[in-house]
Amino acid sequence: MSKIFKGKTVGQSVEKIDSLALSQGKPLFTDDFKVEGMLHAKFLWSPHAHARIKNIDTSAAEALPGVHAVICYKNVPRVMHTTAGQGWPEPSPYDTTMFDNKVRYVGDRVAAVAADTEEIAEKALQLIKVSYEPLEPVFDLEHAMDKGAPVIHDEPDCKYILPLVYEPKSNHCAHIDLDVGNIERGLKEADFVIKRKFKTHYGQHCAMEPHACICYFEPNGRLVIRSTTQVPFHTRRIVAQCLQIPERMIRVIKPRLGGGFGSKQEILFEEVCALLALRTKRPVRLVYDRKEVFVSSRTRHPMAFWMETGVKKDGTLSAIKMKVISNTGAYGSHGMTVMSNCCAKALPLYRCPNIQFIGDTVYTNLPQAGAFRGYGVFQASFVMGILMDEMAEAVEMDPLEFWRKNTIREGESHPIFERVGEVGKGIAMVIKSCALPECLEKGATAFGWKEKRAKYKKQPAGPIRYGVGMACNAHGAGVPKIDMASAFAKMNDDGSFNLLISAADIGTGSDTVMAQIFAEALDIPMEDVIVFSADTDLTPFDRGAYASGTTYCTGMAIVKMADKIKDQILTVAADMLDEPKGNLRIENKSVVSTKNKKKVEFHKIAKQALYVNNQFQIAAIASNASAIPPQSYSANFVEVAVDTETGEVKVLSYVVALDCGTAINPKLAEGQAEGAILQAVSYALTEQYHFDKNGRMLNPSFGRYKIFSTSDIPKIKAILVPSYEPSGPFGAKSIGELCIDCVLPAISNAIYNAIGIRLYETPFTPEVVLKALKEKQSKM
């Protein structure tokens, strides 16, 4: 059992600092903002999945009174870039330009209009005459790389800026492979080899706040971009790239965000809004409606897996062979990294000496995939979670015991850590904190795993069948050697502090968590920390909110920065108390002498430094670059009821026991777990994209793309099992994505436990279950 940290502020469920203002409906979001003379922008979307634009005639639209600008491929610079909001140099292909003379999915951009009102902009769109030459589309990810398949990216200027495999002429967006040990030997040594194919489907983040952007100008002509972004600095850099203007001309402001889940880790349309503002010299507002969010923002990468795993009679894993094809849709944003994460972040959970991974990403003429909570680990955990259950069954072990036996432990390492990272080579790492064994134990007890397994073995006959399932996962924090975050703070007259950060709180509560870390480090109360995030003019660089890295990466920058502040405070106090610095320590918003009772309060120290003697501003900045990606862990238990007459699967209860290191704010951590679980339960059971034969999404609304509401919810219980990660702030790791990863396999395993049918494809809708039940019956 490792050390556990509980502080005055860290480890306490303090109130989320913005929650009162949010509950009162204060105008805090991107679109809660008006600028005098603001124009409204709208996109014209492609009705074709794949077509060449032979010509666009925008003259009638331009002539419409109230229209101020129309842009399309004819009058914008052609700058190949990626929309992925990643660090530079981005590991996503430069396969996108603002507007192209080719469209690659139904919902791709054709043109954009800025007008006095939204109504006029919409009228103008109807006046744009586009002549298309339809091309044959590619929809099936398994056939996208076939010889002779239509080429989606036939433009000569698409490329990676990193040395990565890229064959756009065969719709091949990315490739990663890896061998650990000897896969053939591992399979040969196995007493049972399980060979299966799996598929996961399209899904959308469904952040309640649609994507929005407002561009306007400062009096000196600098461009301000107020945007729903998870990545303010990447947005500034990529918009500068697209518009070919220097970063110094751009200021990006991130207000409160109404959820993101990865969908806002994109330069989605900020460059278009900015260009329209530059062309019209007017403020411009661009807001997606819900249909546009579904079709023309980003989605989850659907994947197909071909798996072989081997297990020995004694329950030892001997081989994992994973071949995956990931569908990135029409553009390759996050295409390589989501696929590589299926290996890099998902597989190091397993104590298995022989592993082979072959991953490919393909283009298709379907909506663009992008970052989405889980980011490859979600898909790979589905596959591995079911296989673990099947292998446990093959060797007649309780899954609980099988998971315990075959998962990584404290003090161990994994060859994959060093061999492959999210981007290229990885980093060797020894696990310094792992409470997965305790998670298994506590989760199983709280859920009643043994009792329920026994109970449902002998359930009375009837149309409703009950079952339980479980699965575990690991999710690494951040991207080592790439992630960097910094934090700045200054002391005010009253001894309070402004904490300026660019960690992008997207609704998770990271502003609160960062304030807690700072308050803990300086032994001050929460109300003395005034957090501001994020504004690229005012707050220092941060990678942004993604890859489960904010608490871990930015949190550590705050710890380092607080050390510098402490030193400055002690210097001033030493002068004031006439005591050597070594005799002094910080305690409860004061500096006290350990030798005598002398004491000076922070507000006096602040005033001394600002006004009295050896004047200076007590302030510091520090940066933190992640060296390793420590794993968080979760053990998941689920109970389902399957109606064998309708095929409906109901999740009755869900218990997750998780190790995120120190939970800086337990209530917020629970909230992350609960939200992630329901998001995935909803995806598992109801959410899906329906396409017609031409690749058009048929259900782009909440009415027809069903996300769970209060009436659908199971009982969810999140149990925080502490560990202490020495490389994290006060022992913290990460929580943002952890609990989404294992919902699919746990449910699939529970369905199997209930009706004896394994579902290897998502989602588990009534039609799918009913069909499987009928097939099973016909075989009996």
Residue 632 interacts with other proteins (CB under 8 A): yes or no: no
Instruction: Select 22 or 80, whichever has its Cβ closest to other proteins.
Output: 22
Instruction: Name residues contacting other proteins, limited to 8-37 (CB under 8 A).
Output: 13, 15-16, 18-29, 31-32
Nearest partner of 342 among 746, 760, 741, judged by Cα = 741
Tell me, by CB under 8 A, how many residues bind other proteins. Answer: 54
State residue 378 phi and psi, 5-degree precision. Answer: -60, -50
Nearest partner of 618 among 486, 489, 487, judged by Cα = 489
Nearest partner of 760 among 406, 449, 379, 471, judged by Cα = 379
Smallest separation (angstroms) from other proteins to the CB of 432: 29
Smallest separation (angstroms) from other proteins to the CB of 702: 4
Taking CB under 8 A as the binding criterion, the range among 330-338, 414-422, 501-509, 587-595 that sits at the site for other proteins is 501-509
Taking CB under 8 A as the binding criterion, the range among 400-408, 475-483, 505-513, 743-751 that sits at the site for other proteins is 505-513
Residue 146 interacts with other proteins (CB under 8 A): yes or no: no
Instruction: Select 672 or 762, whichever has its Cβ closest to other proteins.
Output: 672
Cα 269 to chain centroid, rounded: 19
Smallest separation (angstroms) from other proteins to the CB of 716: 5
Smallest separation (angstroms) from other proteins to the CB of 671: 6
Among 501, 677, 738, 746, binds other proteins (CB under 8 A): 677
Instruction: Select 707 or 768, whichever has its Cβ closest to other proteins.
Output: 707
Smallest separation (angstroms) from other proteins to the CB of 28: 7
Taking CB under 8 A as the binding criterion, the range among 256-264, 445-453, 482-490, 644-652 that sits at the site for other proteins is 256-264
Smallest separation (angstroms) from other proteins to the CB of 633: 20
Smallest separation (angstroms) from other proteins to the CB of 12: 12
Instruction: Select 359 or 675, whichever has its Cβ closest to other proteins.
Output: 675
Binding mask 387-426 for other proteins (x = CB under 8 A): ----------------------------------------
Smallest separation (angstroms) from other proteins to the CB of 394: 34
Instruction: Name residues contacting other proteins, limited to 203-232 (CB under 8 A).
Output: 205-210
Instruction: Select 616 or 702, whichever has its Cβ closest to other proteins.
Output: 702
Question: Collapsing DSSP states into helix, strand and coil, what is residue 127?
Answer: helix
Instruction: Select 511 or 528, whichever has its Cβ closest to other proteins.
Output: 511
Residue 376 interacts with other proteins (CB under 8 A): yes or no: no
Among 65, 156, 163, 703, binds other proteins (CB under 8 A): 703
Query: ω before 150 within 30° of 0 (cis)?
Result: no
Q: Give the chain's end-to-end CA distance (angstroms, integer).
A: 50
Answer whether 630's CB lies under 8 Å from 476's CB: yes
Instruction: Select 354 or 682, whichever has its Cβ closest to other proteins.
Output: 682
Structure-token pair, residue 689? 């994209």
Smallest separation (angstroms) from other proteins to the CB of 181: 40
Edge-to-edge strand list for the sheet holding 109-115 = 67-72, 109-115, 39-45, 284-287, 212-217, 223-227, 250-253
Smallest separation (angstroms) from other proteins to the CB of 183: 39
Instruction: Name residues contacting other proteins, limited to 272-301 (CB under 8 A).
Output: 287, 289-290
Instruction: Name residues contacting other proteins, limited to 555-584 (CB under 8 A).
Output: none
Smallest separation (angstroms) from other proteins to the CB of 665: 9
d(CA 621, CA 519): 16
Instruction: Select 29 or 532, whichever has its Cβ closest to other proteins.
Output: 29
The helix (run of H) or strand (run of E) holding residue 773 is helix 766-779
According to DSSP H, which parts of 345-483 are helical?
Answer: 377-394, 399-406, 415-419, 436-447, 449-457
- Write the burial class of residue 346 (CB in 10 Å: 0-12 exposed, 13-18 middle, 19+ buried): buried
HSE on the CB side for 771, CA within 13 Å? Answer: 7
Residue 667 interacts with other proteins (CB under 8 A): yes or no: yes
Structure-token pair, residue 666? 């337990």
Residues 6 or more apart whose Cβ sits within 8 Å of residue 531: 17, 499, 501, 511, 512, 514, 515
Q: Whats the size of the chain, residue-wise? A: 780
Smallest separation (angstroms) from other proteins to the CB of 305: 27
d(CA 44, CA 365): 18
Cα 616 to chain centroid, rounded: 41
Cα 606 to chain centroid, rounded: 40
Distances from the Cα of 220 to the Cα of 217, 275, 280, 536, 601, angstroms: 8, 17, 16, 17, 42
- Write the burial class of residue 15 (CB in 10 Å: 0-12 exposed, 13-18 middle, 19+ buried): exposed
Distances from the Cα of 58 to the Cα of 104, 131, 151, 561, angstroms: 21, 12, 28, 54
Taking CB under 8 A as the binding criterion, the range among 72-80, 151-159, 251-259, 555-563 that sits at the site for other proteins is 251-259
Question: Collapsing DSSP states into helix, strand and coil, what is residue 397?
Answer: coil
Instruction: Select 526 or 676, whichever has its Cβ closest to other proteins.
Output: 676
Taking CB under 8 A as the binding criterion, the range among 277-285, 514-522, 699-707, 756-764 that sits at the site for other proteins is 699-707
Smallest separation (angstroms) from other proteins to the CB of 96: 27
Among 674, 696, 760, 766, binds other proteins (CB under 8 A): 674
Smallest separation (angstroms) from other proteins to the CB of 612: 36
Smallest separation (angstroms) from other proteins to the CB of 32: 4
d(CA 766, CA 147): 37
Among 299, 496, 508, 636, binds other proteins (CB under 8 A): 508
Binding mask 714-753 for other proteins (x = CB under 8 A): --x-------------------------------------
Among 110, 484, 678, 773, binds other proteins (CB under 8 A): 678
| Three-state SS sequence of 421-457 | CCCCCCCCCECCCCCHHHHHHHHHHHHCHHHHHHHHH
Residue 256 interacts with other proteins (CB under 8 A): yes or no: yes
Among 711, 777, 779, 780, binds other proteins (CB under 8 A): 711
Residue 538 interacts with other proteins (CB under 8 A): yes or no: no
Smallest separation (angstroms) from other proteins to the CB of 717: 9
Smallest separation (angstroms) from other proteins to the CB of 654: 9
Answer whether 731's CB lies under 8 Å from 433's CB: yes
249 DSSP assignment: G
The dihedral over CA atoms of 99, 101, 103, 104, expressed in degrees to the nearest 10, equals -90
Residue 530 interacts with other proteins (CB under 8 A): yes or no: no
Answer whether 546's CB lies under 8 Å from 231's CB: yes
Answer whether 303's CB lies under 8 Å from 359's CB: no
Instruction: Select 1 or 208, whichever has its Cβ closest to other proteins.
Output: 208
Among 7, 47, 181, 259, binds other proteins (CB under 8 A): 259
Q: Which residues bind other proteins (CB under 8 A)?
A: 13, 15-16, 18-29, 31-32, 205-210, 256-259, 261, 287, 289-290, 506-509, 667-668, 670-671, 674-679, 701-703, 707, 709-711, 713, 716
